[in-house]
Structure 1
């Protein structure tokens, strides 16, 4: 998942991508599982919250339309009632008595039928509009309850993230600059959630496999100019790398080095980390680790202590885990 671990080349020497036999990138499995659960829970709850807000907006717009329609229909039905009160309802008997000949009677009878159909339609439309308005109000109330539920989930997942980070973090981080480009969004489900994906497409960095969403992230990052050495899938250990849901981007142009990035390499890593954070919602990023800081969607940038090595502290590469 996170770090390169021990067994790296001497300081300053560029090496190949992390090997499958290299230890996981610092931290325990418990920490990695806790970070994943907190981040995934947040992303899922946020998607449900956003979807509920969209439905509420649509329902509110429809309710406003219905309220305008109800005013019109109430006015029309009121006219029918007022006319009936003033003139009395036109019946077949009154039409017959007011007719001077058969043709006049047939004409009045036809008028009676048309009026009855019109009045019946107005009353039916009024009833249906009132029923739909009532359903819309109930649906809006349900969406509000759903949003309150998801807000509670978000609050819990933030507490979970804070608890998990307490093992490796001493407080808020400062974040990084650069990386302002906007990525092309990865495909989502119709309700705004992320589709479930497996390690099913070729990993261009190792020849193994990654998820389609991870590949999309990698391609978007490279299109934005982040073209230095990358390694994604790793068969050994646990975390997201073996699932094809994580990539390590070297800060140095020649590959992973066992020294902390400085100068242009540090600037490159800063920009990439910020790019991934800024486009997390478009790409499906779960969290980012770079230069002793970790970003999660429910905590923002926090300090990160990976054990003191360039790999453990992520000072020689940017790690990104995908949903």
Structure 2
């Protein structure tokens, strides 16, 4: 029987699988640095956070010890935690909705041929590059009792309002800052999405007798579906992880009315040094974020 030559081996049916194996090895080699960094700085911290939520103690010589579900039970029975959850939901909903509607309207206006479009786009985007700490200090100055906002309202006979010291007004000020901070970024993303919609769709809708609102509802929104998914998810994540506004402007007060979940986690971990309890609260925040992102993806991507 004739021994197969090297040429017959190369052209054998297994050659394709052999090449695919080599490609797979090469792909893993190129992906390895990114996967290692992903594992070290994202996956490992999440796993360790989940483990830490079942422990108590501190990172001293005494160390931590296993307590099971005790931290989660403490969360469930703590009225302060439920107040913080309510504050976070209120803050998120009241921030996300205007942060979608206002930038979308501005993007629709700027998408038309108008003078100074580039200048206006740059002006609206500027808040996105301002540090939240600096913006928080600026808003705290604006809304202090003897600040410019009360000085302006006094011209209309309105008595000074303790914006950041009132349980009713403190949260709206934080929401206003967050909307102002997110507005420019969302507007630029919406504007990019609008420019990908073919003009022929609007021309066809106009020939069919559709008015401006019908064109927006049946042409613009369907064409912006991928953009809307991205903007909603990024805005929700931005609001859920809000910390700087609370830290700089209110410190969670007055009477815990502006205490958001991330600031609550910070207080428990680095003020009370209750790391296991803080890890449990952080795990709840992670679960809430994942559920909200999943629901948004499922809602907006289904036909």
Q: Which TM bucket (shorter chain)?
A: under 0.3
Q: Which has the higher strand share?
A: 1
The structure whose Rg is larger is 1
TM-score (norm 1): 0.25
Q: Which has the higher helix share?
A: 2
